Amino acid sequence: MGPGGNRGWLLRLVIAFSFAQGAVSMARPAVSYRALALGADERAVGVIAGVYALLPLFVAVPLGRRTDHGRCAPLLPAGVVLISGGCAFSGLADSLGAMAVWSGVMGLGHLSFVIGAQSLVARRSAPDEQDRNFGHFTIGASLGQLVGPVAAGALIGGHDMADSSAVALLVAGAGAAVAFTSLWRIEERRTTPGSGAARGDRVPVWGILRSRGVPAGILISLSVLSATDVLTAYLPVVGEHRGIAPSVIGLLLSLRAAATIACRLVLTPLLKLGRTPLLTLSCLVAALLCAGIALPVPVWALALILAALGFCLGVGQPLSMTTVVRAAPPGARSTALALRLTGNRLGQVVAPATAGLIAGLAGVAAPFVMLGGLLLLSAGVAMRSPPRSPGDGPPPAGRRPSSRPAARGRKSSGP
């Protein structure tokens, strides 16, 4: 089946992504708590959080190239295996170095799953369905981010933080494995591009990056994910300094994820504002809210800030996916998505490490001011992004009639 049609595959993909992302979202704060229990300081927590994204930096583009010329589905179970193993072995590790290594394995698994899943959504979605389908796909991530921190907060605590955080990591590994149950027949072979012509028409990476709209989509995605990632890694540290229990921190992180789900459920009517104004406004408000986390506010005010922040951050990821897919050459859309994920992972390496340095020098709340500046920059970039984007106002397919033949053509090598 080509683009459009029955969307049962999308529901199963959302379910699988929920379990995979839930495991990662449960493991990330658990890794931070376990590292603190093993004697790590704020800088060490930042380094371990950065290693999660370091290894994927070197493999994202080759995986994207492979997916442009072949099937998406094999990356999904491979990613689940790596996520599950990275979580479990992080719980068994008894040194900060070993925890960093297994955190990297977990990150590699997450990258593999996401490249395969995003490429599948792009390949199986008609042009006028891309915003909606990417929005629904990212609900899976938000569901995982909703459940994962609550589960981590419920398991972590007591006098022995090292043991309770290890249990949380083992449970996260088992939870990731459940994703296998939704991955059967998720890709039909008729959606796989022809191999010969596709390999002969490989688009250089620099050519993809020069496509109008691709750099803006990458930067916006990097900023939004960096905000989510640093928030996940450093809110536990803020909680420790402000005397907030791990269970409450877990609830606050889940509240942020629930607001993101709410945003993506109403993304279609929000798009009536236009993609460019919506991206600009969401990044601008998110910048102010991130800076607000640095203030010594009570827990109820922090909850309101995180709920509003989660809603604003819910816009950037799905719309940046559509922006990159539509701006990229038809034969290199998976590679363009991989470049977007490379930017994400670069942010996940640099942002936590920078956050750790800033936290060590200026206090644990200072990294959120840094995130505010990054999101403010993204708001400016979004404002200057091409107003002629096919998704910036109805009808999306009518602005760029060549998109549908490229998606359906027999020789199309990208989603």
DSSP notation for 27-80: HHHHHHHHHHHTT--HHHHHHHHHHHHHGGGGTHHHHHHHHHTS-STTHHHHHH
Query: Where residue 404 falls among pLDDT bands split at 50, 70, 90?
Result: very low
Peptide bond between residue 236 and the one before it cis (omega within 30 degrees of 0): no
Q: 150: which 2 tokens? A: 């609550």
DSSP 323: H
Inform me whether the pLDDT recorded for 411 exceeds 70: no
The CA–CA distances, whole Å, from 179 to 14, 17, 313, 380 equal: 10, 7, 25, 38
- In this predicted structure, what is the pLDDT of residue 16? 93
Encode pLDDT of 85-106 as tens digits.
999 999 898 888 899 999 989 9
Inform me whether the pLDDT recorded for 398 exceeds 70: no
Q: 285: which 2 tokens? A: 């408000």
The CA–CA distances, whole Å, from 115 to 122, 129, 320, 338 equal: 11, 19, 14, 6
User: Phi/psi of residue 106, each to 5°?
Assistant: -60, -45
Do the Cβ atoms of 311 and 262 come closer than 8 Å? yes
Taking the C-alpha atoms of residue 18 and residue 143, their distance in angstroms, rounded to an integer, is 6
The CA–CA distances, whole Å, from 388 to 152, 164, 315, 337, 381 equal: 44, 52, 19, 20, 15
Q: 90: which 2 tokens? A: 């992080």
Query: Where residue 197 falls among pLDDT bands split at 50, 70, 90?
Result: very low
405 CB-near residues (< 8 Å, 6+ apart): none
Per the model's pLDDT, the better-predicted residue between 75 and 131 turns out to be 75
Q: Which residue has 């981010």 as its token pair?
A: 145
Average pLDDT over residues 368-381: 86
Query: Where residue 192 falls among pLDDT bands split at 50, 70, 90?
Result: low
Taking the C-alpha atoms of residue 93 and residue 165, their distance in angstroms, rounded to an integer, is 11
Average pLDDT over residues 67-82: 84
The CA–CA distances, whole Å, from 324 to 125, 280, 337 equal: 14, 16, 7
Inform me whether the pLDDT recorded for 410 exceeds 50: no
With pLDDT > 70 as the criterion, what percentage of the chain qualifies?
Answer: 86
Q: Which residues of 126-143 are buried (b: 16+ CB within 10 A; e: fewer)?
A: bbbbbbbbbbbbbbbbbb
Please give the full DSSP string across 370-394, using - where no structure is assigned: HHHHHHHHHHHHHHTS-TT-TTSSS
Q: Which pTM value belongs to this model?
A: 0.72
